[in-house]
Structure 1
Amino acid sequence: MMKRFALVMTLCLATSASAEQVADVWKAKCKSCHGEDGKAQTKMGQKESIVDLTQPAWQKAQTDADIREVIADGSPRNTRMKAFKDRLTPQQIDALVGYIRTMKAK
């Protein structure tokens, strides 16, 4: 019983740390253009006409693979969106995809 409790606690702590880590990656790598909330209401977001990631239509139109590809390889539609495959691990990129999915407008 005690081993099971320890395992559950370890998993909960790991999940919490992971959520904090992805938020830190977002703040360090994405926030300056996409904004804290993904709405791109930043100077760069407005200058580059960056899409609002919270829009249900955008969320529905983009697959996880599409989002992952843009983060990893950059955007073919906006050359300012550089590739992050050499600066982020595959796990960090996957975590960012999940983080972006949480931004979906209600």
Structure 2
Amino acid sequence: MMKQCVLLLSLVLSPSALAETTADVWKAKCASCHGIDGKAQTKMGQKESIGDMSRPDWQQARTDADIRKVIADGDPRNSKMKPFKDKLTPAQIDALVGLIRTLKAPSAP
């Protein structure tokens, strides 16, 4: 029994488990509007004129704290972006901020 608990705990705390969980949260809570790639080329993304998170200007214009606040509290400029502070843990929100920072478009050669 103890070995099973240790194994389960090591899987839960491993970086790959966290990355998978973050990707799952993104797919479940964010991708329907923002798209898997953050480009917002979805029906809702286009309807609501959601910004392309992969664009360098989008990334540079927002601090991690700005992104965290919108995820937690919703977007005052877009009522469709609901707050997630009661649905996600602070750690999940931080992980989503990290994921959003990886959505950078490739640089032109």
* Same fold, judged at TM 0.5 (above): yes
Unaligned runs of 5+ in 2: 1-9
Matches within 5 A, 1:1-106: 14-106=14-106
Q: Deviations over 1:14-59 (max 9, x none)?
A: 0111110000000000000000110000000000000000000010
Write the distance in 2 (CA, Å) between the matches of 1:18 and 1:87. 17
Unaligned runs of 5+ in 1: 1-9
Residues 85-105 of structure 1, C-alpha deviations (whole Å, 9 max, x = no match): 000000000000000000011
> Could you tell me the percent identity over the aligned residues?
74
State the alpha-carbon separation in 2 of the partners of residues 32 and 69 from structure 1. Answer: 20
Cα offset, 1:68, TM superposition: 0.0
Question: Whose relative contact order is higher, 1 or 2, with alpha carbons under 8 Å and at least 6 apart?
Answer: 1
Task: State how far apart, in whole Å, the 1-side matches of 2:32 and 2:105 are.
Answer: 20
Q: Find the counterpart in structure 2 of residue 7 from structure 1.
A: none
For 2:35 and 2:49, locate their aligned partners in 1 and report how far apart those are by CA, in whole Å. 13
Count of matched residue positions in the alignment of Structure 1 and Structure 2: 96
Q: Give the TM-score, by structure 2 length.
A: 0.85
Q: CA RMSD in A?
A: 1.3
Q: TM-score, normalised by structure 1?
A: 0.87
Q: Give 1:39's aligned amino acid.
A: K
